[in-house]
Amino acid sequence: KIKLKHGSHREGKRTDAIMQKWRGNGLGQFIHWGLYAIPGGEWNGKQYNGAAEWIRSWNEMPKPAYDSLIYKFNPVNFNADQWAAIAKDMGARYVTITTKHHDGFCLWPSKYTSYTVANSPWKKDIMKPLVDAYDKAGIDVILYFSIMDWNHPGWRYDIKTRADSIAFEGFKKFTRNQLIELLTMYPKAKGLWFDGTWDKSWIKQAKFADELEAEMRKLRPGLIIGSRFRADEYGKRHFDSNNVLMGDYEQGWERKLPNTIADVHGNDWDCVMTIPENQWGYNKAWKGHIKTSTELIEMTAKAVSLGGNFVLNFGPKGDGSIRDQEKRLALEIGDWMKVNNEAIYNCGYSGLEKQDWGYSTKKTRIDKIYMVVFNIPVSGAYRVKLPAKTAIAKSYLLADQNQVLKVEEVHTNEYFVYANPASQSKPFVIVLETKKKE
């Protein structure tokens, strides 16, 4: 093992109640909102082919013109309670909200920069009404924060000269001040979701970032911080030089999902996902494949079946309203969650062999297994293999618990469960109540 001063400071999953709640959330909402929502992926009548929240980096976007969007930020249709209600109706149990994306525009009235809502026509704090609205809806809040800040004069992609070093020292102090400010102004926040930490300048700050993480955890005991925040002294990110996870959960699953339990290395993790291929901020022209609610429900079930959470992104428009396609998807997912959330909330890896019909989840500490079905076998028989000494006490449809299902042991510890779901067009859940084999 390599001796590390700034590697991971804990091996294995956190066992405290705050992290156990996070682990059981299953489904979350991501909100990407900021000045980039105003152009919505378009400038001077031309569409930007990249992700809308990165439009400032487009060579056809004059930087002063982008930076002046602060004077157009006046989201007259912003309604924090409506955003929280959409998340609630979808069945999300936590939300991750951008406080500051890479462009440096702060959705809170930070006293460490003038590039905030306070100096926009809107003037008012956006974060406080959002944190309060989601908290009132019973949805935990995680604050997204981009370390990379294109607006701050001290930011550097790398530190090559003494001048770079002096400038970056000022930037580090600014970053620390903003993070302490956020934790102080929004004490209800359960965690921080860091982004923009890939540049060499930040990767070289192992000691500073380690000490800053310790300061934040001391200020806010139980704070949840992912693997993306800091690198160890050898520049290793997400996993330190001894291959131990940095932070409390793995943040590497951005727009992708693990395929097997081996891929997650026994860690907590979340998958953050866009509805189109790759748009986090509002883009007027959603191009390419737009995921359906069934696809998104399958991704949620797959994530939970592998011990993670699925966090679906919404990109509100510049005026603060949510686009119709996003509202419709949230309602469709919510309709399914209202019937089937027992297979998602406080569930995790079942340990069972993957079968063709879909994904299995297991309620933590209760002998209940959920077979979340996406592919209906023409035989009507759903194969499941149980560990030795485990038998099926009872099986039924989660949507109709009076419909007890026929179970046949076809081989030792291998069963067929026979089910004919009422609807063949939507995923459904078969429940197995298990018992010790006599």
Ligand X SMILES: C[C@@H]1N[C@@H](C#Cc2ccccc2)[C@H](O)[C@@H]1O
Q: Does 329 bind ligand X (CB under 6 A)?
A: no
Please select the residue that binds ligand X; options are 48, 53, 70, 84, rule is CB under 6 A. 53
Cβ–Cβ under 8 Å, residues 420 and 376:
no
Q: What is the nearest approach in angstroms of ligand X to the Cβ of residue 54? A: 6
Closest by Cα among 391, 392, 375, 383 to 417: 383
Closest distance to ligand X from the beta carbon of 351 (Å): 31
**C-alpha pair distances (Å), 108 with each of 24, 104, 116, 182:** 29, 11, 6, 8
DSSP secondary structure code for residue 93 in this structure: S
- Residue 15 has φ and ψ, to the nearest 5°, of -115, 0
Nearer to ligand X, 311 or 386 (CB): 311
The nearer residue to ligand X, 52 or 70, going by C-beta atoms, is 52
Q: Is 398 left (phi over 0), alpha (psi -120 to 50) or beta?
A: alpha
**Do 337 and 316 form a contact (C-beta atoms < 8 A)?**
no
Applying CB under 6 A, the span of 51-59, 292-300, 338-346, 392-400 interacting with ligand X comes to 51-59
Q: Give the tokens for residue 26.
A: 């299953």
32 or 302: CB nearest ligand X: 32
Per CB under 6 A, does 195 bind ligand X? yes
With contact defined as beta carbons under 8 Å apart, do 329 and 296 qualify?
yes
User: By CB under 6 A, what part of segment 224-283 binds ligand X?
Assistant: 254, 272, 280
The least CB distance from residue 31 to ligand X, in Å, is 11
Tokens representing residue 376 in the block: 């209906």
Cβ proximity to ligand X: between 13 and 284 the closer is 284
125 binds ligand X (CB under 6 A): no
Alpha helices in 220-249 (DSSP H): none
* Tokens describing residue 154: 């001290």
Element (H, E) at 169: helix 162-185
Q: Assign 3-state DSSP to the chain and report helix, strand, coil percentages, each to 5.
A: 30, 25, 45
Q: Report helix angle 324-340 to 293-305, nearest 10.
A: 50
List, as own/partner pairs, every contact residues 207-214 make where C-beta atoms lie below 8 angstroms and the sequence separation is at least 24, other chains included. Answer: 207/5, 207/6, 207/233, 208/172, 209/6, 210/5, 210/6, 212/175, 212/176, 212/179, 213/247
Neighbours of 422 (CB within 10 A): 10
- The residue (of 53 and 213) whose beta carbon lies closer to ligand X is 53
State which residue, 252 or 307, has the beta carbon closest to ligand X: 252
Which of the stretches 48-56, 284-292, 410-418, 429-437 binds ligand X when contact is defined by CB under 6 A? Answer: 48-56
Please identify the residue of the shown chain whose CB is closest to the bound ligand X.
280
Ramachandran class of 104: left when φ > 0, alpha when ψ lies in -120 to 50, beta otherwise: left
Task: Tell which residue, 399, 275, 272, has the closest CA to residue 329.
Answer: 275
Q: Which stretch binds ligand X (CB under 6 A): 46-54, 239-247, 261-269, 302-310?
A: 46-54
Q: Site size for ligand X, by CB under 6 A? A: 8
Q: Is 100:146 a contact under the CB 8 Å cutoff?
A: yes
Q: For ligand X, which is the closer residue by CB, 122 or 280?
A: 280
Instruction: In angstroms, give the least distance from the CB of 431 to ligand X.
Output: 35
Closest contact distance (angstroms) between CB of 34 and ligand X is: 10
Which region, judged by CB under 6 A, interacts with ligand X, from 47-55, 156-164, 215-223, 390-398? Answer: 47-55
> In the complex with ligand X, which residue's Cβ is closer, 30 or 78?
30
* Contacts (CB under 6 A) with ligand X, residues 22-41: 32
Minimum distance from CB of 4 to ligand X (Å)?
Answer: 26
**Gap between the Cα atoms of 55 and 53, Å rounded:** 6
Q: Which of 149, 188, 185 is nearest to 170 (CA)?
A: 149
Residue 165: strand, helix, or coil: helix
> Per rule CB under 6 A, is residue 199 in the interface with ligand X?
no
Closest separation in Å from C-beta 240 to ligand X:
22
Applying CB under 6 A, among 51, 130, 304, 419 the residue interacting with ligand X is 51
Instruction: In angstroms, give the least distance from the CB of 57 to ligand X.
Output: 10
Query: Which CB atom, from 105 or from 428, has the smaller least distance to ligand X?
Result: 105
Choose between 272 and 430: whose C-beta lies nearer to ligand X: 272
Using CB under 6 A as the binding rule, whether residue 194 contacts ligand X is answered as no
Structure tokens at 366: 């209760």
Residue 107 vs 373, nearer CB to ligand X: 107
| Closest CB 381 distance from ligand X, rounded Å | 42
Whole-number minimum distance, CB 319 to ligand X, in Å?
A: 21
Residues that bind ligand X (CB under 6 A): 32, 51, 53-54, 195, 254, 272, 280
